[in-house]
């Protein structure tokens, strides 16, 4: 028997990090497909304009503000959504942040913040929503990762580590969620034009719009495969690089990002007199 796949007539789609970027685009895409979409973002993030934009669509968007780092708040949000709008049949954990971390300026705060939002932010919502899906005997969960999970890039020590954790979390939980008739998917997009990527100091190859990313994630949800990656032209290159021996891959990434030509971080020896 094939695993459950969410559809609008069964209940609500819940999207975290839905006030901007990929989450906002995906919320609009889901509403266009007829879903009632509960969108979660922090209180200060603009969800009201998203609700207004969706009024002409077949579905609707509802606002449920919450910070994903708040464990009790996320559990209460799941309860509030289901009490007011219906059962959550599709949960998309998209909330995330990118904080650049380089070896010459390591920061405990940046690592902790990255894991609190990107990794534990998923766990805080996943635990209560999967418990309810298990009781109902069906559900559909999507985790938004990144192709940065495949290997390390300069400045992604924190971000990439969280995305690798998301992928491993999904691979591990799939064994049990399959038996519960809860479909689990992971989306690993490449570079998407969002407020996060606009801060990048690098030229980002294969950059696509957030609207296009939302459409591709929806197609991945529709098809139901475990992993969805895009854009294909960039993913092929990255997956090929992941197969290379570590030293060769490190040399290549250093060269294409310009890291190879950056000044040495090692203390220079004092000249002998």
Separation between Cα atoms, residue 111 and residue 94, nearest integer Å: 18
Q: What is the pLDDT along the chain (273 residues), one digit of tens a residue?
A: 699 999 999 999 999 998 889 999 999 999 999 999 999 998 777 788 888 888 999 999 999 999 999 999 999 999 999 999 999 999 999 999 999 998 888 999 999 999 999 999 999 999 999 999 999 999 999 999 999 999 998 889 999 999 999 999 999 999 999 999 999 999 999 878 776 666 655 566 667 888 999 999 999 999 999 999 998 888 888 899 999 999 999 998 888 777 777 776 655 555 554
Given this model, what pLDDT does residue 200 score? 59
Catalytic positions are: 159
**204 assigned to some structural domain:** yes
Domain count, the chain: 1
From residue 231, how far is each of 24, 55, 93, 191 by CA, in Å?
A: 19, 30, 20, 8
In this prediction, residue 187 carries a pLDDT of: 97
The answer to whether position 106 is within a domain reads: yes
User: CA-CA distance, 160 to 147, in Å (whole number)?
Assistant: 9
Residue 273 maps to a domain? no
**Is 178 inside any structural domain?**
yes
pLDDT at position 198, please? 62
* Phi and psi torsions of 186, nearest 5°: -125, 130
In this predicted structure, what is the pLDDT of residue 75?
98
Within a domain: 116: yes
Whether residue 74 contacts residue 128, with contact meaning beta carbons closer than 8 Å, is answered with yes
- Structural domain boundaries enclosing 192: 8-260
- Is residue 57 situated within a structural domain? yes
| Cβ(78)–Cβ(87) below 8 Å | no
Q: What pLDDT is recorded for position 199?
A: 60
Task: Kindly state whether residue 2 falls inside one of the protein's structural domains.
Answer: no
Residue 240 is part of a domain; what is its CATH number? 3.40.50.720
Give the span between the Cα atoms of 150 and 227, in whole angstroms.
13
Predicted pLDDT of residue 76: 98
> What's the predicted TM-score (pTM) here?
0.90
The pLDDT assigned to 9 comes to: 97
pLDDT of residue 102: 86
Say if 131 falls within a structural domain. yes
Is residue 122 a contact partner of residue 93, using CB atoms and an 8 Å limit?
yes
């Amino acid at each position: 028997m094939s695993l459950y796949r969410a559809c609008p007539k069964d209940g609500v789609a819940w999207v975290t990090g839905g006030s901007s970027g990929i989450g906002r685009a995906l919320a609009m895409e889901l509403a266009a497909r007829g879903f009632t979409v509960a969108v979660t973002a922090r209180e200060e993030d603009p969800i009201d304009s998203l609700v207004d934009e969706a009024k002409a669509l077949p579905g609707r968007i509802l606002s449920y503000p919450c910070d994903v780092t708040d464990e009790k708040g996320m559990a209460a949000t799941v309860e509030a959504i289901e009490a007011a709008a219906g059962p959550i049949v599709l949960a998309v954990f998209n909330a995330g942040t990118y904080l650049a971390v380089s070896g010459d300026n390591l920061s405990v705060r940046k690592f902790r913040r990255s894991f609190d939002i990107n990794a534990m932010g998923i766990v805080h919502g996943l635990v209560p929503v999967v418990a309810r899906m298990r009781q109902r005997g069906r559900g559909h969960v999507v985790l938004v990762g990144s192709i940065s999970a495949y290997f390390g890039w300069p400045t992604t020590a924190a971000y990439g580590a969280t995305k690798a954790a998301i992928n491993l979390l999904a691979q591990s939980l799939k064994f049990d969620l399959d038996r519960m008739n809860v479909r689990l998917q992971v989306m690993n997009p490449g570079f998407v034009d969002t407020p996060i990527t606009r801060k990048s100091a690098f030229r980002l190859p294969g950059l696509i719009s957030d609207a296009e990313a939302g459409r591709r994630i929806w197609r991945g949800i529709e098809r139901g495969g475990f992993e969805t990656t895009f854009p294909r032209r960039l993913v092929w290159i990255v997956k090929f690089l992941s197969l290379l021996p570590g030293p060769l891959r490190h040399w290549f990434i250093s060269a294409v990002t310009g890291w190879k030509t950056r000044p040495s971080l090692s203390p220079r020896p004092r000249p002998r007199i």
